């Protein structure tokens, strides 16, 4: 048995996995909790009762996008594609449809895991010692032709659940050297008068939308925070930041090397929660219906998404 395979782990929170050589001991894990072939991970926590609780949140139909806008660059440059090729998660090409043109059409080249794109990570995205969640060999799960286990197929019907915003930036951006822990999350709940329940989507605002991902130091979640998410039963994480840079000294990157591959928690990277925070403050409530329905494209390790909060 692989040192990483928690076959003897209980299927309850706080189960642990020992990884001898490369990762820290006693990290939380859901490997085995929903079976050896599970592809949903913590999305399993979104039960009918959770969805019904989410439905109660909808009162006015007001909706807010949590996605950053993407302005595509051109896939080509030169005289027939005159714009400078910029860094963009999406590159486009406008298609010839005849001359004169009866219609316009185009093709997009999408980099799924781009720091400037709000996107949903599939569970096969991270490899731990040759394995992906929940302990399957990467070479069986990911092929040259696409992902056959742990792909974006898990998001086929969209993610509809209750969402809770924890605004860590209520009085300014989180400091660049701060490791967010369970105490920060508990404090946010108390401050906002909300409590995250099992199956909820956790939306976190660090206040870093404008300044992140420039190679500069950034705060992030600690493993202590991931344990809190594991205890509470977070189904999906959406934040303007996730892991600290440089990495925290408490072990492997909390969100991308613990929460995603060990807990099986899909991550929505690079959200913009600023408008959401403003609306929550205005309405005096921090919970809402959360809908994340990316294009129904199977077989990928990630996909762009426009998560919507509906009040």
Q: Which residues between 230 and 249 bind its own copies (CB under 8 A)?
A: none
Segment near its own copies (CB under 8 A), from 6-14, 37-45, 95-103, 202-210?
A: 95-103
Segment near its own copies (CB under 8 A), from 13-21, 32-40, 225-233, 300-308?
A: 300-308
Exposure string (b/e) for 14-47, b if CB count within 10 Å is 16 or more?
Answer: ebebebeeebeeebbbbbbbbeeebbbbbbbbbe
Work out the number of other CB atoms within 10 angstroms of the CB of residue 291.
19
Nearest distance from residue 29's CB to its own copies, in Å? 18
Interaction between residue 13 and its own copies (CB under 8 A): no
Interaction between residue 216 and its own copies (CB under 8 A): no
Binding residues for its own copies restricted to 153-212, rule: CB under 8 A:
153, 156-158, 160-161
Alpha-carbon distance of 311 to 295, in angstroms, equals 23
Task: Using CB under 8 A, pick the residue from 17, 54, 241, 248 that binds its own copies.
Answer: 54
Alpha-carbon distance of 59 to 289, in angstroms, equals 10
Segment near its own copies (CB under 8 A), from 105-113, 168-176, 188-196, 225-233?
A: 105-113
Alpha-carbon distance of 115 to 97, in angstroms, equals 33
Q: Are strands 159-167 and 146-147 parallel, antiparallel or unpaired?
A: unpaired
Nearest distance from residue 307's CB to its own copies, in Å? 8
Nearest distance from residue 2's CB to its own copies, in Å? 14
Alpha-carbon distance of 294 to 305, in angstroms, equals 5
Segment near its own copies (CB under 8 A), from 107-115, 169-177, 183-191, 225-233?
A: 107-115
Task: Give, in order, the Cα–Cα distances in Å from 46 to each of 37, 287, 290.
Answer: 18, 16, 12
Task: Using CB under 8 A, pick the residue from 8, 37, 98, 284 that binds its own copies.
Answer: 98
Half-sphere exposure in the Cβ direction for 78 (13 Å, CA): 4
Interaction between residue 293 and its own copies (CB under 8 A): yes
Task: Using CB under 8 A, pick the residue from 7, 26, 36, 62 that binds its own copies.
Answer: 62
């Amino acid at each position: 048995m692989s040192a990483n395979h928690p076959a003897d782990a209980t299927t309850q929170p706080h189960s642990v996995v020992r990884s001898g050589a490369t990762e820290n001991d006693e990290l939380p894990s859901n490997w085995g909790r929903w079976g050896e072939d599970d592809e949903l991970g913590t999305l399993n926590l979104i039960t009918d009762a959770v969805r019904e609780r989410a439905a109660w949140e909808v009162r006015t139909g007001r909706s807010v996008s949590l996605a950053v806008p993407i302005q595509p660059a051109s896939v080509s440059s030169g005289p027939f594609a005159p714009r400078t090729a910029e860094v963009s998660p999406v590159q486009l090409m406008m298609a010839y449809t005849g001359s004169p043109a009866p219609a316009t059409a185009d093709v997009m080249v999408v980099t799924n895991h781009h720091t400037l794109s709000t996107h949903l990570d599939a569970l096969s995205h991270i490899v731990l010692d040759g394995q992906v969640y929940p302990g399957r060999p990467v070479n069986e799960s990911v092929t040259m032709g696409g992902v056959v286990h742990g792909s974006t197929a898990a998001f086929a019907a969209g993610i509809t659940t209750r969402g809770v915003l924890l605004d860590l930036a209520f009085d300014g951006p989180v400091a660049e050297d701060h490791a967010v822990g369970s105490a920060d999350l508990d404090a946010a709940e108390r401050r906002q008068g909300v409590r995250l329940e099992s199956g909820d989507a956790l939306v976190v605002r660090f206040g870093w939308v404008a300044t992140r991902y420039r190679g500069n130091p950034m705060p992030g979640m600690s493993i202590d925070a991931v344990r809190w998410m594991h205890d509470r039963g977070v189904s999906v994480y959406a934040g303007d930041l996730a892991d600290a840079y440089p990495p925290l000294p408490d072990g492997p990157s909390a969100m991308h090397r613990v929460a995603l591959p060990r807990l099986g928690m899909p991550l929505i990277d690079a959200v913009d929660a600023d408008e959401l925070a403003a609306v929550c403050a205005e309405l005096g409530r921090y919970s809402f219906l959360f809908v994340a329905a990316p294009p129904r494209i199977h077989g990928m390790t990630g996909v762009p998404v426009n998560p919507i909060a509906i009040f």
